[in-house]
């Protein structure tokens, strides 16, 4: 999988840099071509000579290196790889990436590149947990940077916790997974996400507690497998993922229209928490408070987007996946919902407040299909998304 792949390996300045020597050796063993870049600080931990000898290629060290510029400019260097791997990615290097600094060769390459980037962070546990680093992590993830690790364990500084660089086999596996990605290449998938807002008047609306986290993670996981994703999102708390086409909507009616214009598609995943009702005649001007007179809102039913697409006579996506947020008898209700709506799968979750799932970072789901109900263990919403994306890939690519 890594044979003849061109890897630009940026080695940051941390004690874990010693593992990058083994990483080079293993990459070469798998047939990859490695172009190494060392930061100044990295040279304190590994020597350019050993890096060059293992890579069988010259080491790039300086932004203003005349020989390198004459042979290959740094812009070209940043784009000539199939994948950029940063190992170890120090707190400083991650901060530079998140901020878009370009004040040395490594940060300039990372800013100039249009090649996917995989980073293996390594730092002291306090540095990893610091709000500044956590902000940078969130930023880098939303910029589409892939992460491997860090692991938790005993660290070179004697402390214990998260921050150890991922082991070399895990970094290799993450790089391989990147090249395997693409199983959904050429497949178009619509994902709905977030809540809808149904106006009462120009300033007030009816909404629900959906954060959009699960739908966003699903769209990201499908895009990571190479799918062309149309992400139709209501006003969610989390930003849309990178590498998808974003269509922003507010109401259920707008969401339906956006989904219909995104068709035809190979699959559709309806993770949005669509409001069941809208105010029948929303006021065009702000409803004024009047003494002794309470406004009475009349509702009308919103279109059921999932049922509509599931029951299309022509041009129905091959796979239609709905969600069911339930507070009791999860499997029974979700199984009935699958029948009623006519979709292929229902991803059911228990959203009783004590589960902490609604708005939280974890999910425990049951996948209901024609084959029955399959309970997945409780895991992060990202992991649920990856598992679901893999199942969708299996169903679409046979
Ligand atoms: O009927 P219920 O709202 O529980 O069904 C949930 C599923 O139906 C979700 O997949 C949701 O995205 C979808 N849905 C929809 N249009 C609606 C209501 C729900 O697509 N108006």
Please give the Cα distance from 62 to 306 (Å, whole number).
55
Q: Which atom of ligand 1 is nearest to the CA of 324?
A: 6
- Nearest C-alpha to atom 4 of ligand 1 is from which residue? 324
* DSSP 8-state secondary structure symbol assigned to residue 355: G
- Is residue 309 within 6 Å of ligand 1 at its C-beta? no
- Is residue 305 within 6 Å of ligand 1 at its C-beta? yes
**pLDDT score for 67:** 59
- Looking at the structure, tell me whether residues 104 and 215 fall in a common domain: no
b/e per residue 60-94 (b: at least 16 CB within 10 A): bbbbeeeebeeeeebeebbeebbbbbbbbbbbbbb
Number of structural domains the chain divides into: 2
- Is residue 302 within 6 Å of ligand 1 at its C-beta? yes
Give the residue from 136, 154, 179 where a domain finishes. Answer: 179
Domain that holds residue 96: 6-179
- Looking at the structure, tell me whether residues 165 and 202 fall in a common domain: no
- Looking at the structure, tell me whether residues 226 and 141 fall in a common domain: no
CATH number at 249 reads: 3.40.50.10300
User: Is residue 150 in a domain?
Assistant: yes
Give the residue from 132, 150, 179 where a domain finishes. Answer: 179
- Looking at the structure, tell me whether residues 233 and 261 fall in a common domain: yes
Tell me, in angstroms, the distance from the centre of ligand 1 to residue 326's CA: 12
Of the candidates 322, 319, 353, the one whose C-alpha atom is nearest the C-alpha of residue 335 is: 322
- Looking at the structure, tell me whether residues 111 and 250 fall in a common domain: no
Is the bond into 393 cis (omega within 30 degrees of 0)?
no
User: Is residue 246 in a domain?
Assistant: yes
Is the bond into 264 cis (omega within 30 degrees of 0)?
yes
- Looking at the structure, tell me whether residues 169 and 193 fall in a common domain: no
**pLDDT score for 100:** 96
Please give the Cα distance from 123 to 60 (Å, whole number).
23
Please give the Cα distance from 235 to 99 (Å, whole number).
26
Give the residue from 179, 214, 239 where a domain finishes. Answer: 179
- Looking at the structure, tell me whether residues 79 and 203 fall in a common domain: no
pLDDT digit of tens for each residue in the chain (398 aa)?
899 899 999 999 999 999 999 999 999 999 999 999 999 999 999 999 999 999 999 999 887 665 565 556 777 888 889 999 999 999 999 999 999 999 999 999 999 988 889 999 999 999 999 999 999 998 998 787 989 888 887 777 777 778 899 999 989 988 988 887 678 988 999 999 999 999 999 999 999 988 999 999 999 999 988 999 999 999 999 999 988 999 999 999 999 999 999 999 999 999 999 999 999 999 999 999 888 889 999 999 999 999 999 999 999 999 999 999 888 999 999 999 999 999 999 999 888 888 877 777 788 899 999 999 999 888 888 889 988 998 999 999 86
**pLDDT score for 224:** 87
Tell me, in angstroms, the distance from the centre of ligand 1 to residue 337's CA: 9
User: Is residue 119 in a domain?
Assistant: yes
- Nearest C-alpha to atom 5 of ligand 1 is from which residue? 324
Mutate to test the pocket of ligand 1, among 214, 277, 304 (most ligand atoms within 8 A of CB): 304
- How many residues does the structure list for the chain? 398
Q: Which atom of ligand 1 is nearest to the CA of 252?
A: 21
- Is residue 306 within 6 Å of ligand 1 at its C-beta? yes
User: Is residue 254 in a domain?
Assistant: yes
- Looking at the structure, tell me whether residues 247 and 292 fall in a common domain: yes
**pLDDT score for 378:** 85
Helix (H) or strand (E) holding 175: helix 168-180
**pLDDT score for 76:** 81
Please give the Cα distance from 42 to 61 (Å, whole number).
10
User: Is residue 371 in a domain?
Assistant: yes
Does residue 343 have an active-site annotation?
Answer: no
- Looking at the structure, tell me whether residues 140 and 241 fall in a common domain: no
**pLDDT score for 66:** 53
User: Is residue 1 in a domain?
Assistant: no
Degrees to nearest 5, angle at CA 107 with 105 and 109: 65
User: Is residue 289 in a domain?
Assistant: yes
Tell me, in angstroms, the distance from the centre of ligand 1 to residue 305's CA: 7
Annotated active-site residue in 75, 157, 280, 332: 157
Tell me, in angstroms, the distance from the centre of ligand 1 to residue 341's CA: 9
The residue behind tokens 């090649």 is: 115
User: Is residue 127 in a domain?
Assistant: yes
User: Could you give the 3-state DSSP secondary structure of residue 365?
Assistant: strand
- Looking at the structure, tell me whether residues 204 and 135 fall in a common domain: no
Q: Which residues pair with 348 in a beta bridge?
A: 324, 366
- Looking at the structure, tell me whether residues 261 and 328 fall in a common domain: yes
CATH number at 122 reads: 3.40.50.1950
Q: Which atom of ligand 1 is nearest to the CA of 308?
A: 20
């Amino acid at each position: 999988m890594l044979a003849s792949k061109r890897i630009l390996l940026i080695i940051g300045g941390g004690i874990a840099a010693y593992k990058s020597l083994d990483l080079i050796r293993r990459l070469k063993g798998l047939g990859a071509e490695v172009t190494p870049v060392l930061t100044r600080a990295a040279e304190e931990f590994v020597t350019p000579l050993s890096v060059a000898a293992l890579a069988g290629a010259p080491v790039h060290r300086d932004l203003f290196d005349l020989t390198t510029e004459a042979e290959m400019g740094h812009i070209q260097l940043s784009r000539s790889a199939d994948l950029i791997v940063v190992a170890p990615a120090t707190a400083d290097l991650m901060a530079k990436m998140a901020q878009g600094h370009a004040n040395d060769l490594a940060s300039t390459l990372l800013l100039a590149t249009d090649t996917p980037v995989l980073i293996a962070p390594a730092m002291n546990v306090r540095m990893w947990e610091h709000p500044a680093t956590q902000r940078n992590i969130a930023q880098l993830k939303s910029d589409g940077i892939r992460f491997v690790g860090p692991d938790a364990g005993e660290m070179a500084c004697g402390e214990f916790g998260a921050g150890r660089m991922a082991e070399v086999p895990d970094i290799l596996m993450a790089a391989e997974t990147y090249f395997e990605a693409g199983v959904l290449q050429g497949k178009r998938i619509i994902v709905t996400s977030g809540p809808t807002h149904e106006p009462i008047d120009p300033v007030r609306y009816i909404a629900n507690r959906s954060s959009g986290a699960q739908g966003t993670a699903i769209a990201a996981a499908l895009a990571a497998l190479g799918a062309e994703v149309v992400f139709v999102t209501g006003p969610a708390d989390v930003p849309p993922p990178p590498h998808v086409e974003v269509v922003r909507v507010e109401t259920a009616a707008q969401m339906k229209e956006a989904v219909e214009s995104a068709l035809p598609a190979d699959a559709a995943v309806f993770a949005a928490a669509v409001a069941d009702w809208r105010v029948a005649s929303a006021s065009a001007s702000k409803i004024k408070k009047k003494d002794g007179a309470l406004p009475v809102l009349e509702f009308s039913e919103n279109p059921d987007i999932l049922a509509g697409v599931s029951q299309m006579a022509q041009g129905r996506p091959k796979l239609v996946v709905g969600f069911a947020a339930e507070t009791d008898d999860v499997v029974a209700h979700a199984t009935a919902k699958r029948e009623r709506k006519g979709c292929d799968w229902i991803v059911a979750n228990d959203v009783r407040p004590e589960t902490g799932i609604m708005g939280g970072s974890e999910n425990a789901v049951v996948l209901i299909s024609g084959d029955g109900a399959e309970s997945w263990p409780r895991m992060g919403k990202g992991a649920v998304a990856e598992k679901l994306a893999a199942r969708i890939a299996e169903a679409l690519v046979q």
